[in-house]
Structure 1
Amino acid sequence: MAEAPRRRVLLAAASGIAALAGCSGSETASNSYPSRNRPVEGYELEKARDERGGALVTAGDELPSLSADERARQRRATRRVLVADDELDELAFAGTDGGETLRSFCAATDFDAASVYLLAMPVDACREIRFQSVAVEPDELADGDLHPHADFCEAYRPADVECGADETHTVGFAIRIPVAADSSTGSGRSMGSSCGRVEPPTVFNASAASGSGGDDA
């Protein structure tokens, strides 16, 4: 009988990792996962922001144009699960600091021992998207198929950050998951409408900023 592929052995070992609750660092764990998902411990995270609002990464040879007659916000969005080097070769990254940050992080991954969940998305210039945690589906993983789910929330940026209320930026996240896989046929994400703060900072509240004492806008 032929030996089981090395990936399969790693998958068996990784099933214990996937069953651990919580996440490393100071990020806040989420309770919003479907019951079949299990938070992953020991992930590594890289993030980038393009304040010009350009696409950070896309599948194919060229980044999409963001001309006014196209659905520009949607064309900034990317969601890919990378389980092998050749899948990384199929992506085009922006020649910007943000694009290079994500590309370098992905390229440094040992895909015999880990995978990368790569996401990019538009965000209003005065808002930020915060990563909270990542989970996998153990049942799918047992068959060599990695289905990650990332949990995010959205918040106002600090009051001392200059931004235009009508501008759009692009943010990207690369999550290195300590799980090798043969393939990925699915992924998911959730986005909380706030990160525990209901009201925006006073700098974005016109009446409070002017000291008029009136109702919030």
Structure 2
Amino acid sequence: MSPTRRALLGSAALGVLGTFAGCSGASDPGAESVRRQASGTDPDPTVLKPRNPDGDRILLDGSEVDSEGKPISVGRELVTSAERADDLFAAEGVADADRERIRSFLDATDYDAETVYVSPAGIRSCEQIHIESVSWEPERVDYEYCRELRPPDEACETDTWVTLGLFFRLPVALDGRITGAGSSGRSPCRTTDTEYAVIDGNATVPGNDTAIDAGGDSR
């Protein structure tokens, strides 16, 4: 594991949850079993939310190809090692800044004590997701979220759906198997500090020229 990954350990460590990951090394089979089958909840998770407005994929697997010789798309996955992370890269259409964030996020994870959970999602262009918590148990991850409008200075197009990827850094080293996943959410968010209300349902928003109209809601 590179010094960079180890140096950034702890960015998602979270009180008692960290005890799931820090019990022992791999030389103790019993402790390894407990560590990798732990259950827990993070009420303030470290999460990356890149978008692809021009395609239906966020993450690709460079170690496998389809019948046309193209890298396959990554769906839900638990990334449990730096070697596996090195196989993954952003799909065409993901902004350069987000491509760099994805790479940095994967590289900064200490896979001896942390796991990255990747989950694809879809969202309207002018909306964003606020993650309220993430929970895990053996072979399953669930998260809670709410939806709200993006800030007025964010470019978007109303009534248009875009592909969203969610990258959670879980403060526990999990087994790579995942057989179940789920999410629950509401709209609008109730606990954030959003001060803007509504984007005009007919507007294409290029950035700072966001149209605000208290008379309707495009969500």
In structure 2, do the counterparts of structure 1 residues 111 and 76 end up closer, same or farther at CA, with 3 Å as the change threshold? closer
Determine the structure 2 residue equivalent to 1:189. 182
Identical aligned residues as a percent: 26
Q: Tell me whether 1:204 sits opposite 2:166 in the alignment.
A: no
Contact residue 79 and residue 117 of structure 1 kept, 8 A: yes
Determine the structure 1 residue equivalent to 2:5. none
- Correspondence for 2:156 among 138, 156, 163: 163
Q: Tell me whether 1:92 sits opposite 2:114 in the alignment.
A: no
Determine the structure 2 residue equivalent to 1:44. 46
The equivalences for 1:1-217 within 5 A come to: 5-6=27-28, 9=31, 12=34, 18-19=39-40, 23-24=43-44, 43-53=45-55, 55-60=57-62, 78-94=75-91, 96-137=96-137, 140=138, 146-159=139-152, 161-196=154-189, 201-204=197-200
* Secondary structure, counterpart of 2:49 in structure 1: strand
Q: Which has the higher helix share?
A: 1
Question: What number of residue pairs does the alignment pair up?
Answer: 173
In structure 2, do the counterparts of structure 1 residues 46 and 11 end up closer, same or farther at CA, with 3 Å as the change threshold? farther
Give the TM-score taking structure 1 as reference length. 0.60
Summarize deviations over 1:122-160 as a string: whole Å, max 9, x none. Answer: 3221111221211012xx3xxxxx422122222222345
- Displaced runs of 4+ in structure 1, greater than 6 A? none
* Secondary structure, counterpart of 1:201 in structure 2: coil
> Could you tell me how far 1:82 is from its partner in structure 2?
1.0
Q: Which has the higher strand share?
A: 2
Contact residue 119 and residue 172 of structure 1 kept, 8 A: yes
Could you tell me which amino acid in structure 2 is paired with residue 57 of structure 1? L
Contact residue 36 and residue 175 of structure 2 kept, 8 A: no
Aligned-residue RMSD, C-alpha: 3.9
Contact residue 56 and residue 98 of structure 1 kept, 8 A: no
- Partner Cα distance (1:175, 1:22) in 2: 10
- Partner Cα distance (1:202, 1:166) in 2: 13
- Gapped regions of structure 1 (runs ≥ 5): 25-42, 65-74, 141-145
